[in-house]
Structure formats: C-alpha cells, structure tokens
Structure 1
Amino acid sequence: MQKRLLYKHAIFREFYYAGSLSCAELSSRIGKSIPLTTQMLNNLIEEGVVEENGLAPSNGGRRPAMYAVKPDAMYLVAVAMDQLITRIAIVDFHNRPVSAVAQHELPLANNPNALQQLKTIIEQAIKKSKIPKKKVLGVGIGMPGFIDALQGINYSFFPNESKSIAGYLSHALGVPVYIDNDSSIVALAEHRFGAAAGTRNTMVVNLGWGVGLGLILNNQLYRGENGFAGEFSHIPFFNNNKVCSCGKRGCLETETSLKVIIEKAEQGLKRKSTAAFLKKDFRTGSVEQDWQAIVKAAQMGDEYVVKLLTAAGYDIGRGVAVLIHLFNPELIVLSGRGAQAGRIWQAPVLQAVNEHCIPRLVGNTLVKMSTLGHKAELIGAAALVLENLSRSKIKETAKKVVLQ
C-alpha cells in the first residue's frame, strides 16, 4: 500500500511540473515500466483524478495520447512568511489561485502566540475556500529562520524549538504540512518555474527584510548538513558596528536589507535630501507600505531612491562575487520581495561582480532578475508539498511529538 502511494505521489509530482505527459514520458520520468505506468494511469483515471488531454505533436508516427491531472481534483495551500507578513494562497493543480491571496500581519519575533495565530489563519483560509479537506493535498510553508525541514522544526522564531511545527499543524489541520526556509523555496520556485529553469548550478538571492540565499547545485536544492545552508545575510562584510538581527555586528544585512533601505530613506529625508516622489512623512508604521512607496518612487525614477537601491545592490554584488568564487554557478537570480523594484538592482550587482571577480570565473556567470518576483515564495511553498510527498519515505508528521 505504501509503495503504491509513493508511485502515485511520484506521478502527481511529474504532472505538476510538466503539465501534461504521455504514458511513455511519465514512465521514463518515474523510472517504472510502461505496463505498470499504464496500470497506474488507468487507476487514476477511474478515480477521476487524471484525464486524457489531447494528442502529442506529430513526429511522423502515431501520436500518443497525453494525460494531465484534473485542475480541480486536488488543491495546494501555499503559505509565504517573512518576519512580519504572512501570505496565504490556495491553488489548483495548475498553480492557479482559487481566490485572492490573503495577507496578514504576523510578527514572528517575540511572539509566543505566532504558531497558534498561523494555525488559525490557515484554517480560516481553507474554510473560506469551501474546498473539502480530502481534496487538499497538503500545506507548504516557507518561513525565515534556521529550519530543519525533515523534522519540521524552526529553531529561530518559535518556542519549544525541539518540537515539530509541521507535526503540530498537520495534526491540528488534518492535512499534511511541510515547512522549509523561505529562501530555499524561493530557489525551488525559480528552478522549477522561473528564471533558473533548465539550469544545474544557480544561486538565488532572496531580497527581503534580510538577504537570503537559495542554492541549486547539480540540479538539486542544496540545504547543507542540517538544513542551514544559505545564510547569506550574516556574512560579516562591514566594520559599521551595527547589530544584526542575528546578534552579530557588521553582517551584510545591516546595510542591504529592505528594512535598512527604508530607514536610510527616512533618515535622508530628515536631512532634507531631495526625493521627488517620497513624502517627508512617508513612514507609515507599516514596513510593507513603506517598501511599496520605495518601489513606486524607484519606478518613477526618483534619483534619491535609485541611489539608495544602487548602493545596496553594489554591496550585495560584492557578496555575490564571493559566491561565484566558491561555487562557480552558471546563473545568479535576484528574486523575492525586493525584485518588485525591477532592474535597478541588476546594474550595481553586475558592476560589483565585474570589479571583484576573477574574469575567467565571472565570464561564464549570468545575473538575471526574477521572472516570478514576490510570487516566488508562494509558488515554492506549493511546490514544496509535491517535493515532500514524492520522497522515498513518507513522513508521518502527524504522529510526531507535537507542540502542546
């Protein structure tokens, strides 16, 4: 029974990424014989989950039938969290949202009720969608912090850090729940659906309230020995004596995060710096609204704001130069919330890379802006469900010790 379920989930995963496949293509992707694949497809058709989806393009011979999962056969709950804001989207199997993305202010730091609040807003989103729980394939959650994805533990932002957050939520919600670091699933989204599709070795920089990093090495998402790889924000880059969110001083984050850019904009305006499209009192008390004001000003060509973003981009580029020397990637993708500001980031990052990299290394590395932008984490959260369900071992998170 377990083996059959694993095959089934492996089939779902391949359909999710490919859209539609012939029986022969599916057989090759899951590594099973055509007779066995045909039998499994027929079972899924009888269950009303898979349907024929036309014929493959002609290659001169008989055109094979194509198959796809019915869009409304199952749904995925995608949760994208940062330190302050949580977004929730429920999507069908073709990644199309069934309703507007819900956004909630949910601070993680010094918030002992964060997990209960998270459970409540996910519960409300599923209830509001009116989708039966039996059709919810799972919940994928991207969140900041030091995360052990296999155990479902976040060591940074939740109390009782030795207990499984994923286990607690899975038990409380009645559906499988998987968590991972936000930058890792941003990289997963870019690799599967975005600017890094088709690449084997890519670094994805997650521009946000911190500066995260997702690593695609040899066509696989790389998390490190304990799942903590990619803490780009906390490389000690500056002698500025500024305390970082990690408790150390001079980290990359202390000069380049979006929160720092907002703070610098406010300080500059107080010093009567000229900003054509930022109001003197642009700080609203909401970092989300303040960042959107920065984005709008940048898109309108505000010289002062562009200089702030350019300075941060150059410093990030210095960090990227270190990554290129260490990993020799084919591509660097600038993604996440910060990508809303567009190509303003690209030129200063490239400038720093060209100044600080050995030419032979940088000559084969491209720097691109994300095609997914701020949606990347939500897309990656949905994909996280399929990635986990199709693993060789099914995690029974609901049976783990859970938070009380």
Structure 2
Amino acid sequence: MKNSPLKSQIIKHLYFDKGLSCAELSEILDKSLPSTAKAIAELIEDGLVMEDGYARSSGGRRPQVYSIKGDAMYIITVAMDQFTTRIQLTDLLNNPVGDMMVVELQLMDNPDALPKLISYINQYVKSTGIPKDKFAGIGIGMPGFINVIEGVNYTHLDAGGESLTHLLTQETGIPTCIDNDSSLIALAEQRFGIAKNRKDVMVINLGWGIGLGMIVNDDLYRGHNGFAGEFSHIPISDSNALCSCGKRGCLEIEASLLVVVQKAIEGIKEGRVSSLKYTEENHPKLVGDAIMEAANAGDQFAIELLSDSGYKIGKALAILIHIMNPASIVLSGRGAVVGKILLAPIQQALNKYCIPRLVASTELLISELGFDAELIGAAILVMESLVCDQ
C-alpha cells in the first residue's frame, strides 16, 4: 500500500477512529482543509475510502463522514506461541476473512521453525487467491526478545544474523513486520479493547509464559533496548527449578500455564479426583485448554490449580504496582477465558503484599478480546507501519 504520508495518515486514523469528517481529520493531522479534502478525494478514487453518511449536528449543515473501505486491502495476521501458530486473513475493519490456519510449530530448539513458518505463510497466502498487491502487509506476533527496529528475534527463529523482517518480506513478497506477542496484545487492548482511552495500563499476557505489555502515558513502553515487560522472569521464590531464561525462582516456573499443565498431569497420575483426563499422547496445549474448560465448568481440581497460579501472579503484580502505579491491569491472552477465576486469588495476594493506597487505585480488568488479541495486535502492527514506510 504505497501512498503519500498524508494519505497514509488518513487511512491510519480512519482505521483506528472509524468515521471522521474532513474537518476532524484536518484538525487531527494539523493540515489545511483543502489539502485534506484533496487527499480524501484521491483515496475515494483509489477505492480505499468511502463516504459513510453524515455526522450528527446540533444545527447547520451536517458534515460528511468518511470511513475506510474494509475490502480495499487485506492483512495477514500471525499469532505465535511456543507450540502453535495461527494465521488469519483480515480486512481493514479487522473482520476475519475465510478460515484460520492453525499449525503445530514448536519454537524452542527447532532449527526448522523459520523455514516451516515461511512455508505455512506462503501456503496460506496462495490459498486466499488474493493478488499480493492487495495485501497491506503481514503482521507477526511471537514470543522472545525482539528488536522491532532491526526486525530480529534474539530468542527464536534464527535468521543467521539477517533481519527476520527483511527475510520474511523477501520470502513472501509481502511487507512483513514482527513484534513481541505481549506488546501486540497490549496494543490491541489499547486500540480496540478494554484499555481504550486509558493512559497507564499494564496488560498481562496469560499464556505458556506470563508476558507484559506496558502502556505508559498512552504509549507502548519498550524500555532502553526494547525488551521491557519480561514479567515472567520476576524472581518471586527460592525454588531451585530452572527457568528457560537460565535463572531460578522466576514467576514463569511458578505460575505459567505450562506449570499448571505439569501440576495437573502429576495430580491426575496421583489419583486426584477430577473431570480431567490425561494420556501420554496429549499435547500441553490440549491439556491447558482442558484445564481452563474444566475450571469454568466447576471442576474443583482445575480451579485449585488456577487459583494457586493466580495468587503467585498477584504477588508479582504487587511488585509491578509498587514500581509503575498503573491505573489499570488487564488480564488478556489465552488465559483471559478463566479471568474471573483468577481475579479473587490475585486480589487476595495484592491485599497481602501491596500498599493499600496503591492497590486501591489500581483497577483489575478482564480482556474482552482474549485469545484474539494477538491477532488483532498483528493487524495494528501493519497499520502502524504504513506511515513509517513512506
């Protein structure tokens, strides 16, 4: 999608803010009305923007409202975790188009992960039957230490020192951008989710690890090297269990969904009464999903496991609150589906470990986007990059 910077800015604001008038766009972009009107007219002619009725008015002529045309371009959104990759085609209104591709793709210690990812994306793009010039881009969320500017993941998907972004763009023929999964989930919550219009929000990505995206003063905070938000590796215990980062006592080895799965398997083998079943062939993903489903159905063992995890997460959140003093904390990602079960033990831990004045001003929220947040964040990543590419 090659446009002038002004037209790209208009597309971007219509994507995020939906219907806007020419006067509103002129004011937001600090551009003259004539130049804004001219750019809008050209975008309408190009089939990217359309007239969308009239705004309400308390008197006088009602202004024409413009909106982005959903099927003008498409985005390939990719959401990766340690075990599974989801690929979904969306339009410019974030509506899913066609079926999602879900593939098992282990990232840890897998040198074939990158060529397989490229193959899956190319296969999916081909299956859509859409010409490549109709794609605004490919947005990919993935775990790991990621330098967004250089397009490098220092943890997974080794591109041999080459920029992963450049390699993926070259291999797919479509502009591609990557970002940390938790950062994208935070972006999704900020732009289209429960954190919209909130300036200081900590978004917790509840998954195989426990990620964190930080919205500080209405902007995504990345830290000095872009690695801010490694919430999983806050040391909260004296456990000797070794974390994937090489350290001991991390939150990840005490409370992540992967640890909940391991405890569930051990409990079932020891004869704990539960509706949960387990065989050696079960994938951790299947067990994790089963635990959350059983907990929401009232299974006492599943609730016990998640409550223990929630309490430890709450203990770590107390540290975060003392440092960042956020207005809100959002529980998002895969584990948001059991957010109501986690809330009570998290709050219990906050009451015990947090200064009352601080915790009283911090609101705990459950994401409405949930497991879709990373896919939506991947689309946002593409749209955010439009102006940068000009």
Short-chain TM bin: over 0.9
1:152-180 deviation per Cα after TM superposition (whole angstroms, max 9, x unaligned): 00000122453200100111111110000
- Aligned equivalent of 2:335: 338
* Segment of structure 1 superposing worse, 353-362 or 373-382: 353-362
Contact 2:185/2:332 (CA < 8 Å) preserved in 1? yes
Contact 1:315/1:352 (CA < 8 Å) preserved in 2? yes
1:42 aligns with 2:41: yes
* % identity of equivalent residues: 50
What is the DSSP-based 3-state SS (H/G/I as helix, E as strand, rest coil) of the residue aligned with 1:68?
strand
What's the offset of the Cα at 1:255?
A: 1.1
Contact 2:82/2:143 (CA < 8 Å) preserved in 1? yes
Please tell me the residue identity of whatever aligns with 1:251.
Answer: C
Separation of aligned partners in 2, 1:122 and 1:8:
29
Please tell me the residue identity of whatever aligns with 1:181.
Answer: N
1:278 aligns with 2:276: yes
Q: Runs of 4 or more off by more than 4 Å in structure 1? A: none
- Given the superposition, is the C-alpha separation of residues 343 and 161 from structure 1 closer, same or farther in structure 2, using an over 3 Å criterion? farther
What is the DSSP-based 3-state SS (H/G/I as helix, E as strand, rest coil) of the residue aligned with 1:101?
strand
1:193 aligns with 2:192: yes
1:251-284 deviation per Cα after TM superposition (whole angstroms, max 9, x unaligned): 1000111111011011111222221x212x2564
Separation of aligned partners in 1, 2:58 and 2:106:
55
1:120 aligns with 2:129: no
Which of 273, 286, 293 lines up with 1:296 in the alignment?
293
What is the DSSP-based 3-state SS (H/G/I as helix, E as strand, rest coil) of the residue aligned with 2:144?
coil
Contact 1:146/1:181 (CA < 8 Å) preserved in 2? yes
Matches within 5 A, 1:1-400: 5-160=4-159, 162-275=161-274, 277-279=275-277, 281=278, 284-391=281-388, 394=389
Contact 2:200/2:216 (CA < 8 Å) preserved in 1? yes
Contact 2:145/2:153 (CA < 8 Å) preserved in 1? yes
What is the DSSP-based 3-state SS (H/G/I as helix, E as strand, rest coil) of the residue aligned with 1:100?
strand
Normalised to the residue count of structure 2, the TM-score between the two structures is 0.97
What is the DSSP-based 3-state SS (H/G/I as helix, E as strand, rest coil) of the residue aligned with 2:319?
helix
What is the DSSP-based 3-state SS (H/G/I as helix, E as strand, rest coil) of the residue aligned with 2:99?
coil
Q: Which runs of 5+ in 1 are unaligned?
A: 396-404
What is the DSSP-based 3-state SS (H/G/I as helix, E as strand, rest coil) of the residue aligned with 1:103?
strand
What is the DSSP-based 3-state SS (H/G/I as helix, E as strand, rest coil) of the residue aligned with 1:390?
helix
Separation of aligned partners in 2, 1:364 and 1:282:
45
Q: Which runs of 5+ in 2 are unaligned?
A: none
- Given the superposition, is the C-alpha separation of residues 283 and 302 from structure 1 closer, same or farther in structure 2, using an over 3 Å criterion? farther
Contact 2:327/2:361 (CA < 8 Å) preserved in 1? yes
Please tell me the residue identity of whatever aligns with 1:182.
Answer: D
Separation of aligned partners in 2, 1:23 and 1:333:
35
Please tell me the residue identity of whatever aligns with 2:315.
Answer: R
What is the DSSP-based 3-state SS (H/G/I as helix, E as strand, rest coil) of the residue aligned with 1:360?
helix
Contact 2:159/2:167 (CA < 8 Å) preserved in 1? no
1:115-136 deviation per Cα after TM superposition (whole angstroms, max 9, x unaligned): 1111111111111111111110
Please tell me the residue identity of whatever aligns with 1:237.
Answer: I
What is the DSSP-based 3-state SS (H/G/I as helix, E as strand, rest coil) of the residue aligned with 1:72?
helix
What is the DSSP-based 3-state SS (H/G/I as helix, E as strand, rest coil) of the residue aligned with 1:227?
coil
Contact 2:122/2:172 (CA < 8 Å) preserved in 1? yes
Please tell me the residue identity of whatever aligns with 2:311.
Answer: Y
What's the offset of the Cα at 1:211?
A: 0.5
Please tell me the residue identity of whatever aligns with 2:125.
Answer: I
Separation of aligned partners in 2, 1:149 and 1:228:
10
- Aligned equivalent of 1:400: none
Separation of aligned partners in 2, 1:68 and 1:283:
52
Contact 2:70/2:93 (CA < 8 Å) preserved in 1? yes
Contact 2:7/2:40 (CA < 8 Å) preserved in 1? no
- Aligned equivalent of 1:401: none
CA RMSD of aligned residues (A): 1.4
What's the offset of the Cα at 1:59?
A: 2.4
* Segment of structure 1 superposing worse, 106-115 or 155-164: 155-164
* Segment of structure 1 superposing worse, 226-235 or 10-19: 10-19
* Segment of structure 1 superposing worse, 349-358 or 321-330: 349-358
- Aligned equivalent of 1:399: none
- Given the superposition, is the C-alpha separation of residues 283 and 308 from structure 1 closer, same or farther in structure 2, using an over 3 Å criterion? farther
Separation of aligned partners in 1, 2:58 and 2:154:
53
What is the DSSP-based 3-state SS (H/G/I as helix, E as strand, rest coil) of the residue aligned with 1:24?
helix
What is the DSSP-based 3-state SS (H/G/I as helix, E as strand, rest coil) of the residue aligned with 1:175?
coil
Separation of aligned partners in 2, 1:32 and 1:349:
47
What is the total number of aligned residue pairs between the two structures?
389
Please tell me the residue identity of whatever aligns with 1:357.
Answer: C
Contact 1:154/1:161 (CA < 8 Å) preserved in 2? no
Contact 2:74/2:89 (CA < 8 Å) preserved in 1? yes
Normalised to the residue count of structure 1, the TM-score between the two structures is 0.94
What is the DSSP-based 3-state SS (H/G/I as helix, E as strand, rest coil) of the residue aligned with 2:71?
coil
Separation of aligned partners in 1, 2:338 and 2:201:
22
What is the DSSP-based 3-state SS (H/G/I as helix, E as strand, rest coil) of the residue aligned with 1:67?
strand
What is the DSSP-based 3-state SS (H/G/I as helix, E as strand, rest coil) of the residue aligned with 1:168?
helix
Contact 1:282/1:290 (CA < 8 Å) preserved in 2? no
